[in-house]
Amino acid sequence: MTDTSEPSYIDYEAFLSPSFSAPSFANSLVLATNDPSDAPLDLSTPLSRVLFDVQEIDTHIDTLTTRSALPLLQYTKDHVEASKHVLQEVESRVASLTDGYKRLEKDVIERYEAAEQVRLAAERLCQTVKIGRSVARCLLLGRQLEAQMSELTGSLPAGGKREDYRAMVRSANTLLSLRQLFAANRPGEEGHGLDRINVIITLRSGLIEPMERTLLTRAQQIIREFSTSSLLASNVSQLSTYAQTEDTKSRATSALTTLYLLSPTKTNTTANFEPILLVSALQNYLQTALTSSLAALTRALATLPTLDRTLLEISARCQNIVALEALLESIKPPPHPLLTDTVVDVPTEPLRNFLQPLLTALDTSSLPSYFWRSLASALSSRVQDIMNRGGVSARTLRSNRDRVRDAVRECVNRGSHLPTGSQGAGKDDVRVVGNWEREAAVMVGSIVGVLGR
**Who contacts 76 (Cβ-Cβ below 8 Å, separation ≥6)?**
none
- pLDDT for the residue 144: 94
**C-alpha separations of 164 from 174, 234, 416 in Å:** 16, 30, 32
- pLDDT for the residue 27: 85
pLDDT tens, residue order, the chain (453 aa): 334 456 667 877 888 888 888 888 888 888 888 877 777 778 888 888 888 888 888 888 888 888 888 888 888 889 999 999 999 989 989 999 999 888 888 888 888 888 999 999 999 999 889 999 999 999 999 999 999 998 887 665 544 456 788 899 999 999 999 999 998 888 888 888 888 889 999 999 999 999 999 999 999 999 999 988 777 665 555 556 778 888 889 999 999 999 999 998 877 676 778 899 999 999 999 999 999 999 999 999 999 899 999 999 999 999 999 999 999 999 998 888 887 765 545 555 667 899 999 999 999 989 999 999 999 999 999 999 988 888 888 899 888 889 999 999 999 999 888 876 555 444 344 343 456 888 899 999 988 888 765
The answer to whether 403 touches 451, Cβ cutoff 8 Å, is: no
The answer to whether 316 touches 229, Cβ cutoff 8 Å, is: yes
- pLDDT for the residue 427: 39
DSSP track, 275-294: -HHHHHHHHHHHHHHHHHHH
The answer to whether 272 touches 360, Cβ cutoff 8 Å, is: no
Q: Which pTM value belongs to this model?
A: 0.71
The answer to whether 195 touches 181, Cβ cutoff 8 Å, is: no
- pLDDT for the residue 310: 93
DSSP track, 127-168: HHHHHHHHHHHHHHHHHHHHHHHHHHHT--STT-----TTHH
Residue type (1 letter), 439: E
Alpha carbons 447 and 51: distance in angstroms, whole number:
138
Please say whether the dihedral angle defined by the alpha carbons of residues 424, 429, 430 and 434, taken in this order, is positive or negative. Answer: negative
Kind and range of the H or E element at 209? helix 209-224
- pLDDT for the residue 4: 45
Of 290, 352, 288, 327, the closest CA to residue 429 belongs to 327
End-to-end CA distance of the chain: 157
- pLDDT for the residue 273: 81
* Residue 134 CB neighbours (<10 A): 21
- pLDDT for the residue 411: 92
Of 150, 137, 149, 128, the closest CA to residue 177 belongs to 137
- pLDDT for the residue 309: 93
**Who contacts 222 (Cβ-Cβ below 8 Å, separation ≥6)?**
165, 251, 252, 254, 255
